[in-house]
Structure 1
Amino acid sequence: MKTKTAQANFAESKMNEISLLNRANVFEAGLFSWGIPEETARALTQHHSELSYTSGKLIFSQGSPADIVLWVVKGVVREVCPNPNGTQTLVRLATAGDILGLADKLNDTGQWVRRFEAWAAGPCVIAIVTRDHVRNLLKAMNPEELLTLSEKMNSAAAEWVQYYATFLGLSYRERIEMVLAELGRKFGIADGDGILLTFEPTHSDLAEMIGSSRPVVGRVLTELAEDGEIGRRERKYVLLHGGAIEAAVKGVPCGSNGHVPPSIQPAAASRRNIPLQRQHRWGR
């Protein structure tokens, strides 16, 4: 049985493991899935600059020029939408391979500007390439390849619309279940008790992501813990075996095993097996 210290060290090593790989490969794999030729994708990933940001650092602000394309090489980035009433919405937590600024727009003068803000959730490395470089690479693609890319981009945009249209019709509990499942896909590692989230979202993060308040998030998380869906260990969430959220991450039917590991607190004897819809991978 691993000690708590060993478990924490193991989680930390898994968080850093992918940083030992060629992070460009993660980004390239996403480009291939969009139908971009291998030669074009390699040219894009091999000719870029990298910038490092400390935790809490602003990467770009809403309305700032969007003359460069960015993707996350290492770390986690909070992509935020400032609202007119002074609040903000956490659009997503971007990690290795995710592109930042997919929702950029043209302003009245024809200049590309940022719709959202991006902040470093911790120390991170961002790769940048100019839009002119991207434009020149796209010019080299043949019409069939450009058509495939256009279709994939249209499909991805429609998927985002469907996601949020569905999201708005759910209860706060169902929204948190969906968010935790998505975090499990992006930040989860296999664990003896279920799926351990190597990145811990704060209550404020979750409140912004579901359009609610921290007290509501606290009550829902307590309910999920009592139902045996989630647990806590070393300040990290665990999506417990047999729960609906873990099943959603794995894409398998949910079935309770009636057991809550003693290493997870608070423990519970009952579960509510509420089916969760499989959702798209945000920007992955």
Structure 2
Amino acid sequence: MTAVTDSTPSFALVVGRCRRCRRESEMSVAVAADVGADEAWRDGPLAGLPPSTVALLLEDARVLELAAGESLYRNGADPVQLMLIADGMMRMCITRDDGRRLTMRYADRGALVGLSAVLSTPTDHRQERTWSEISGARRSCDALRDTVVLVLRTERFLRLLRTDHQVADAMLRYLARLVDEGQRWLGSDVLLSVRERLARHLLSLAERVDGEFAVRATNQELADSVGSVRDVVSRVLGDLQADGLVKRRGRRLVLLAPASLHRLAVGRPVVSGP
């Protein structure tokens, strides 16, 4: 067992240790050289825990690298593993048998994936499978960008959750935040127009490229995000472009007026242009 130190372990050092373990045991785990993991830990729900607790959570972690478009899971149920996103972005979706898709959550650097599955009971998992069979809807988690995920040891996490009140408190606060975000997300999907929902998703997907905020996505991918169809989204994007809010440059959609898009996303009146 790795000795616990008095200083917070560098996430990058953990990645290096995972790489050495892979060479020694030939584990089929893809490893990225630089995952921005220290920032991910600071941005995540477990930031602020004592260094000794952080060391225990990081010990024997595995690093997975997913290419953009690759799925973490598509079998309709979360994998029973707790994962911290070190870099990139994942999208959690529900997809019907007819191909219609609705985005339920975006998870970027610092977010935990798989927490609900780790905390669920066997009865919960059976109910999830029954729901999928009856509704014809399946859950999936896909990488929107090249993504690096740190897989934590589930048994160690659950033991700390039961015995360490600081870990339990951090998880309660994180789950409360997820519930609040989920309620606001659901409310937006029900009450906002496609134009307003599209503005919200564009802001969620945007990344800085050559000094501009841009989204790399096709009209079909955006339609999947907002739970609409491509023709409707194409028409709305045309309106946004005519209003000077966005501009299409190949596969890249540049956000010309992020502040105006934000006002639109929360249902406030917007004037054309920045």
Q: Which bin holds the TM-score, normalised by the shorter protein?
A: 0.5 to 0.7
Q: Deviations over 1:145-169 (max 9, x none)?
A: 6346424422431231122113310
In structure 1, what is the equivalent of residue 164 of structure 2?
A: 141
* Cα displacement (A) at 1:46: 4.8
2:39 maps to which residue? 25
Distance 2:146 2:210 in 1: 24
Answer yes or no: is the 8 Å Cα contact 2:264–2:270 preserved in 1: no
| Inter-partner Cα distance in structure 2 for 1:131 and 1:206 | 34
Whether 2:223 is the aligned partner of 1:200: answer no
Q: Deviations over 1:4-31 (max 9, x none)?
A: xxxxxxxxxxxxxxx8563243134312
Q: Distance in 1 between matches of 2:220 and 2:104?
A: 13
Structure 2, unaligned runs of 5 or more: 1-32, 130-137
C-alpha deviations, 1:177-197, integer Å up to 9, x for none? 11112223xx23583xxx422
- Is the 1:76–1:120 Cα contact (8 Å) retained in structure 2? yes
Identity across matched positions, percent:
22
Among 161, 176, 180, which residue is 1:158 paired with?
180
Quote the offset at 1:223 in angstroms.
0.4
Query: CA 1:85 to 1:127, structure 2 compared with 1: closer, same or farther past 3 Å?
Result: same
Structure 1 position 227, deviation (Å): 0.2
Deviations 1:192-235 (A, max 9, x none): xxx422x4122222112211101111000110000011113353
Indicate yes or no: 2:123 matched with 1:108: yes
RMSD, aligned CA: 3.7
Conserved in 2, the CA contact under 8 Å of 1:243 and 1:254?
A: no
Provide the residue aligned with 1:214 in structure 2. 230
Partner of 1:223: 239
Paired residues of 1:106 and 1:112 also in contact (CA < 8 A): no
Q: Which residue of 1 aligns with 2:71?
A: 58
- Structure 2 CA distance, aligned partners of 1:177 and 1:65? 28
| Closer, same or farther: CA 214–102 of 1 in aligned 2, 3 Å | farther
CA distance in 1 between partners of 2:98 and 2:173 (Å): 36
Structure 1 partner of 2:110: 97
1:125 aligns with 2:148: yes
Q: TM-score, normalised by structure 1?
A: 0.65
Q: Paired residues, what number?
A: 231
